[in-house]
Amino acid sequence: MLVGVVVGLLVLLSLLSVALGALSIPLDQVVRALFGDASSKIVDNVIWSVRIPRTLLGLTTGAALGMSGALMQALTRNPLADPGILGVSAGAAFAIVLAVGVFGITSVYGYVWFAFVGALVASVVVFFLGRLGRSGATPVKLALAGVAITSMLSSATSAIVLTDPDALDRYRFWSAGSLADQDSGELLRILPFLAVGAVFALACAPALNSLALGDDMAASLGRRLGLVRLQGVTAIVLLTGASVAVIGPVVFLGLVVPHIARVLAQWAGIGPDHRWLLPLSAAIAPVLLLTADIVGRLVDRPSEIQAGVLVAFIGGPFFIALVRRRKLAEV
């Protein structure tokens, strides 16, 4: 039943995403256009050239960021883990701006490799800083390290874009996190990376269930912890780096969605099984991202508010409430 509800929501939101915007198209015309019977060339062009690529991008990148957040929380056993909070998105963003502003690379397929390297380096640095001290890598220390690295990388990013008009022009809209102005070619370029990242993530799921019991217990059950973490980090870098390269850093999506997935899984009687939590997070995240994108189009027509802004508007209070509820005050 839970899977059916989520799939139904995704289908409904996908239709609404194709129908709503500066030019609203009735749902019956959308369905007809999907079967090759558009009412006009304008409607056909808007649907196939603009709305459908945008919707597919929201579905795929949303799923990638949701799965990445769930995977990161499981690997670190940290409920505050998120590609945005722990600096992974900021690392990818800085590397992309560096590629555009310093090396003059303007194609997604060109600077996506920089995004991967930036995401990997940022995640390693944050985890290293979070482990310093006698108490090891506590959730709050990791979150604080992530905030510090994110602030540092954001400052370096600003320094580059303010001195390079081309980098600034690309960065100013992309940095807010948006599904707008993308074509199907961008999706096709990142789809192989997202597919490989998803395969790595799903392959980790059984080991993540063991890892939740602690490193010693997981090792006693025959899990090779180094290999599991390497596989997980590879999946996070691929999923986050490719998504950020196209739609920009959408903060808090990877934080909020896994918690929603756990609540729904508990309600459905599934329990904390990552073989279900990872696919469920991948399905719920596009629901939130597409909803934010649709609302952003409608509240300020004919202009729009970027989806990343609305996701952050939801995720910020959620992050504060989560910290207060868990009373994570130790540093």
Q: 101 in a domain, yes or no?
A: yes
Q: Residue 63 is part of a domain; what is its CATH number? A: 1.10.3470.10
Question: Does residue 28 belong to any structural domain of this protein?
Answer: no
Q: Is residue 8 part of a domain?
A: no
Judge whether 11 lies within some domain.
no
> What does the pLDDT read at residue 35?
82
Q: What is the pLDDT of residue 325?
A: 65
Question: In angstroms, what CA-CA distances link 183 with 95, 175, 220, 321?
Answer: 23, 18, 49, 37
Residue 50 is classified by DSSP as I
Computed over every residue of the chain, the mean pLDDT equals 84
Q: Scan for tokens 């991202």, then name that residue.
A: 289
User: Using one digit for the tens of pLDDT, what is the confidence trace for 234-291?
Assistant: 898 899 988 988 888 888 888 889 988 988 888 888 878 899 999 999 999 999 999 9
Domain that holds residue 154: 51-326
In a domain, 32, yes or no: no
Say which DSSP state 48 is in: I
Average pLDDT over residues 123-134: 80
Beta carbons within 10 angstroms of residue 97's beta carbon: 27
Residue 222 CB contacts under 8 Å (≥ 6 apart), including other chains? none
pLDDT given at position 328: 43
| Section 43-48 average pLDDT | 86
Is residue 25 a part of any domain in this protein? no
Report d(CA 214, CA 206) in Å as an integer.
Answer: 14
Phi, psi of 87 (to 5 degrees): 85, 0
pLDDT value of residue 326: 56
Q: Pick from 130, 126, 151: which is nearest to 139 by CA?
A: 130
Report the alpha-carbon distance of residue 261 to residue 72 in Å, rounded: 14
Contact between 253 and 66 under an 8 Å Cβ cutoff? The reply is yes
Structure tokens at 228: 């599991």
Highest mean pLDDT among 18-27, 56-65, 168-177: 56-65
Judged against a pLDDT cut of 70, whether residue 137 lies above it is answered with no
The answer to which of 9-13, 119-123, 140-144, 299-303 has the lowest mean pLDDT is 140-144
Percent above pLDDT 90 for the chain: 22
**Mean of the pLDDT values across residues 114-141?**
79
Residue 323 confidence (pLDDT): 64
- Please give the Cα distance from 108 to 103 (Å, whole number): 13
* Torsion 115-156-140-284 (CA) sign: negative
Q: How confident is the model at residue 329 (pLDDT cuts 50, 70, 90)?
A: very low
> Residue range 81-100: average pLDDT?
84
Positive or negative, the Cα torsion across 144, 148, 153, 159? positive
Number of structural domains (the chain) is 1
- Look at residue 70 and tell me if it is in a domain: yes
Backbone angle region of 304, left / alpha / beta, with phi > 0 → left and psi within -120 to 50 → alpha? beta
Q: What's the Cα-to-Cα distance from 12 to each of 16, 21, 67, 152, 289, rounded to whole Å?
A: 6, 15, 21, 40, 14
* Position 216 in a domain: yes
Task: Please say if the pLDDT value at position 14 is more than 90.
Answer: yes
